[in-house]
Amino acid sequence: MSWMTCAPHRAAWMATCLAVLALGGCKARDEATPVQAPVSAAPAIAPLSLIPRPARLERGPGQLTLTPTTALLASDAQAEAVARTFADLLVTGGKPKLQTAIAAPASGAIAFVLDAQFAGASPEAYRLEVKPEGARVVARTPAGLFNGAMTLWQLATLDPAATAAIPTVTIDDAPRFGWRGFMLDSARHFQSVEEIKTLLDAMALHKLNVFHWHLTDDQGWRMEIKRYPKLTQISGCRIPAGDGGRDPASGQPRPYCGYYTQDQIREVVAYAAARHITVVPELDVPGHAQAAIAAYPELGVLGDRPAPLNEWGVNTYLFNAEDSTLVFLENVLAEMVELFPGRYVHLGGDEAVKDQWKASARVQQRIKELGVAGEEGMQSYMLKRLERFLVGHGKLMIGWDEILEGGLPPEAAVMSWRGIEGGIEAARQGHDVVMVPSSDLYLDYLQTTSPNEPPGRPDTNTLQDAYAFEPVPKELTQAQQRHILGLQANMWTEHTRTDARLEHHLYPRLAAVAETGWTPRADKRFEDFLARLPGHLHRLQALGIDYARTPFEVAIAVDDDRRAGTAQITLSNPLGYPVRYTTDGSEPGATAKAYDAPFPVKLPAQVRAAAFHGDRALVASSEFRIDAASLLSRSDEQLAVCPDAGRLLLRLEDDGPADGERAIFNVTIFYPCWQWNAADLDGIGQIRVRAGRIPYYFQLAHDEPSRTFEPAKSAHGELVVRAGGCKGKVIAEAPMPAAPDKDGFVELTVDLPQDVRGKQDLCLLMTGDTRPAMWVADRVTLVPSGG
């Protein structure tokens, strides 16, 4: 009998005039039965690069080849929609087309079947069977069927070659968590609808099912509210700091603008729904309110009109506590609940610095009128009232973990971002929880220490960190653990000016988050994930996603003996992939020397190296030229942070030019200084410093007292060089100019005293108040005597 036979007639299927194929001659495996390797005399089968890893998978011999004549069959209109999305995403090989009302389907067809009797472990569960004769995806719900289709799409893209061939498999799969989310901040920097759609396609590929959309903040209001048009007319724009906010031709202010119309929001919501992704919008209350107050000053405590600026940090503007302001927020929510059909609305509640409330006689009077417990009680009162409004409209409230501080209604859910402690407390109180700790799941943190990383927070959240995070704390009882809905990665965009930077930050770390959300904990192994990841990168390329190359690059460390003309070279890859290298300038291929230990070179030297998976380089090779000149120069990325500089190291972008690429600087904004540890000063006559200047546009709230600087002695400050660290002896000084040169930089050279020799920890800083602009080091060079 043929493996694929026509399914029995069902009236519901006939109503849609769609042919359905059922699998015959293949006994279903009991879901409780452990997965066993197929018994076959065929050669060993390579592992599949599926991400996230399915719960249960069996391999078989052979494959199903997709061609332009491959039939896609669906059980009803909902299954047809899934089949269409599958066909639309295919970009390799023959692209099959949906065929309906087929009397005698050809061999090799793919059936998408919704079956109310399918017994999956969750509403999102599915079964996928592929044989050379055809394939079948079955699920109880459209969401489950879509998940199966995404696995099938991954199987069809295992090889970047032109022909799409799907290996023979049987997969029974279901997610570990119901909330597998990603948050995008569109308030600080704005993304087009097309970029949002690309992101949603990638989320679907990774079986992520919640898109948390951060639409309002101090820096911009991105959501059209028809009742309050000034929210977008005024607060949809800001003037960026410095040169970025000036038209290069006229010198006039050039605003940075963007918002989503309600029609565009409906378009995004519909696009997400077609991929079984729920959109959760965020309206932040009572803090992060500066943009709203800039549009309607009567909403604030001070009654002034602050400009929504391109500022990083925590601003102090809060919504006031008047009943009229709460009515405003309810009116905004009334329009939001019509736009977003999902169950939850996010009400923020984070980083609400209460200074304005504490200083306001009117707010203090309001606290007494309402009989609440201080400022925290006032925040709780506001959120509880808005929560009741949401419940009245069939919605539930979710907020950041600060909302616990004043007490919550039992229906409210909590996102735990300041570690997992807030999530533990919320679960113990009976609240549902989504784990989003910044220490593991904030993707605006850099993912490697490479100098090729874009602007962001130089504290690293590596791919390993994202993969290792466990959302269910062991401190909770089994009953409390059921309140952990899942996990979510967050992407804040203060530093993310372009779509390419956004995609760099997200991928491949979002794949690691997705696997934690989907795959059983016992089946997660980072080494196995790394083996599957290279194949997955081809899928990202197929979607046009510009994923980060830095995790797959090779880094170099050089221990030099300049006077002997030699150096010891250490190579590494952040993920531990094998490294191959050459020293003759040639491109390292699969037969190049494998790196296994540090090796010596004679100067000058040229080293080219690449990380490999099998016989393929993961990214283009890195080229390193090491000579006497390169050993005497260090960029700001290569310099150390001064021990006394505080912890707030940022990787910041220059403010100009207005368009195009800009310089990037590593700087500790609390006390900007840089240190070259163990600089060899023998034979050195001068120190040359290349410096740039950037606006100081940060709001630090209660961290403001941590900002320190060395007082200037002259009009524009001085370059100061110390030996023995940042508390050591001043060995050189030079006055700073009033402004940098036309290229945005200035180069200063100071003489090195003859009595300062040997290896020294050199500390460099520029004196003077860091506001409104501060000097930042770009490169430091040691100049030999007579050079």
Catalytic residue positions, numbered: 217, 288, 351
Q: List C-alpha distances in Å: 502 to 107, 314, 439.
A: 43, 22, 19
C-beta pairs of 155-161 under 8 Å, 24+ apart in sequence:
155/48, 155/50, 155/130, 156/66, 156/90, 156/92, 156/93, 157/91, 157/92, 157/538, 157/539, 157/542, 158/48, 158/49, 158/535, 159/538, 160/92, 160/538, 160/541, 160/542, 161/92
The one-character DSSP state at 768 is: S
- Cα–Cα distance measured from residue 383 to residue 679, given in angstroms and rounded to the nearest whole number: 56
- Angle at the Cα of 459 (from 457 to 462), degrees rounded to 5? 105
Tokens of 14: 């006939």
Angle between helices 526-542 and 509-518 (to 10 degrees): 120
Examine residue 471 and say whether the peptide bond preceding it is cis (omega within 30 degrees of 0). Answer: no
The token pair at 596 is 């296994």
Instruction: Kindly give, in sequence order, each residue whose CB lies less than 8 Å from that of residue 378, ignoring residues fewer than 6 positions away.
Output: 321, 357, 363, 366, 367, 370, 372, 406
The DSSP secondary-structure symbol of 777 reads E
DSSP letter at 477? -
Rg, C-alpha atoms of the chain: 29
Yes or no: say if 434 and 397 are a contact pair by the CB < 8 Å rule.
Answer: no
| DSSP secondary structure letter of residue 401 | G
In 3D, which of 701, 674, 670 has the Cα closest to residue 687? 674
- SS3 of residue 96 by DSSP: coil
Q: What is the DSSP string of 277-303?
A: -EEEEE---SSS-HHHHHH-GGGBSS-
Q: How many CB atoms lie within 10 A of CB 738?
A: 6
Residue 343 structure tokens: 């169950």
Cα–Cα distance measured from residue 718 to residue 709, given in angstroms and rounded to the nearest whole number: 12
Q: Do 358 and 365 meet the contact criterion of CB atoms below 8 Å apart?
A: no
Whole-Å CA distances, 486 to 286, 398, 462, 514, 676: 26, 13, 20, 11, 44
> Is residue 771 classed as helix, strand or coil in its secondary structure?
coil
d(CA 80, CA 113): 9
